[in-house]
Chains A and B, each alone.
Chain A
Amino acid sequence: MNDYNMMNNIMSNFFNPEDLYPQAQMHEMKNEMPMKKDEIGTPKEGYTLGNLFVNTYIPYKNYMPQKLVAHNEQEALFLQMSEVAFAAHELNLYLDLHPTDQAKLKMFNQFRKKANELRTQYENQYGPISINANVLDNSPFLWEELPFPWKGGIQ
């Protein structure tokens, strides 16, 4: 199985169309060549693969990427925030080298704004991720009170 077929196999096993983020110009799961190297997946696809530029994904042997599963609302929101923040970061690295690419800049800003919204929503409900979080108005000092991320779990 070549890399491209492997990738499509992964896509069809892992992702549902309803997971797509409609605001962005999305990678379509077609068996069509040629592939554009800068084609962008959904935040969920990109985060699962560790590569938002899905046509440059290189699998190792026959390993499939881990499917992250949220067990409750908190984990679901955390995961969505991680996915969108990752998508923004991937476009950040791309734009460092292509600062005049208007289409990618637009996508970056969509993801950046969405990631900020999701982080604020998460922080208001579950506690601070950033030291700038408004939820830090509350006592006691939640930055210190809440668990550190190496504890385990999706949080």
Chain B
Amino acid sequence: MWKYEKRLQYPVNIKNKDIRLAKILVTQYGGSNGELAAALRYLNQRYTMPDNRGKALLTDIGTEELAHIEIISAMIYQLLKGATPAEIKAAGLDPHYAEHKNALYPTDANGVPFTVTYFATTGDPLADLSEDMAAEQKARAVYENLIDLTTDPDVLGPLLWLRQREVVHFNRFKELYDAYKKELK
């Protein structure tokens, strides 16, 4: 089971509304390389890992990804806070407003809703861990694209931090992949 801690893993304190940024940032919530896909990918794959190293790592990284969903969601919430319908329309987010007002909804930067087809479970630990390594690299690349598209230090801080977590998770998955590759016949 899980227990909630009433805190963000990394603080988010965005002072300036930025609807256009919220519109693209949402991809790290509900896009193919986003945090929701990451959490579900690892938490689904963990059951069939061949030993407790894999079960433990996928459980713990999958759990951390849930905390990253909350960080990205807090950023989107703060970027949209107090945005008027007119401002939302001017920023091109009126289709979102029509469906969801200022509420959050997991989509990619083009507004395409989240789908579980963004991740796979093959039951083969090497195949699954290869996907996990690729997922961390793709998420890192998307964080870099987003960093390129903003100059707000309140947004850059958490984005740089989340990007670095992709680096750490990749290293851990690669370590496990290399170990299994050597050991599993």
Query: Once the chains bind, are B160 and A65 in contact (CB under 8 Å)?
Result: yes
B-side interface residues, number (CB < 8 Å): 43
Name the B residues within 8 Å of A49 (CB-CB): 164
Closest Cβ neighbor of A68 among chain B residues: B11
**A-B contacts at CB below 8 angstroms, number:** 106
A47–B60 alpha-carbon span in the complex (Å) = 18
B64 CB contacts on chain A under 8 angstroms:
89
Quote the shortest CB–CB distance from B167 to chain A (angstroms).
5
Residues of B within 8 A of A99 (CB): 53
Residue B61 CB within 8 A of the other chain: yes
Complex Cα gap A97–B179 (Å): 9
> B56 is contacted by which of A63, A66, A96, A155 (Cβ under 8 Å)?
A96
| Other-chain residue from A86, A97, A143 in contact with B6 (beta carbon distance below 8 A) | A143
**Which residue of chain A lies nearest to B56 when distances are taken between CB atoms in the complex?**
A96
Stretch binding the partner chain, chosen from B28-36, B70-78, B83-91, B106-114: B70-78
With contact pairs A96-B60, A150-B73 given, residues A53 and B161 touching in the complex (Cβ less than 8 Å): no
In whole angstroms, what is the CA distance A94 to B61 when docked? 11
Residue of A nearest to B144 (CB): A60
Q: Is the CB of B7 within 8 A of A82?
A: yes
Shortest Cβ distance from residue B171 to the other chain A in the assembled complex, whole angstroms: 6
1/0 per position for B12-33, CB-CB distance to A under 8 A? 1110000000000000000000
Q: Separation in Å of the A127 CB from the closest CB of chain B?
A: 8
The interface-forming segment of A28-36, A104-112, A128-136 is A128-136
Interface contact A58-B164, CB-CB below 8 Å:
yes
Chain B residues near A50 (CB, 8 Å)? 10, 160-165, 168
Partner of B153, one of A60, A66, A96, A148: A66
A to B CB contacts below 8 Å, 15 in the list? A50-B160, A56-B167, A60-B147, A60-B160, A63-B147, A66-B153, A66-B161, A92-B60, A93-B60, A96-B172, A129-B7, A149-B74, A150-B77, A152-B14, A154-B13
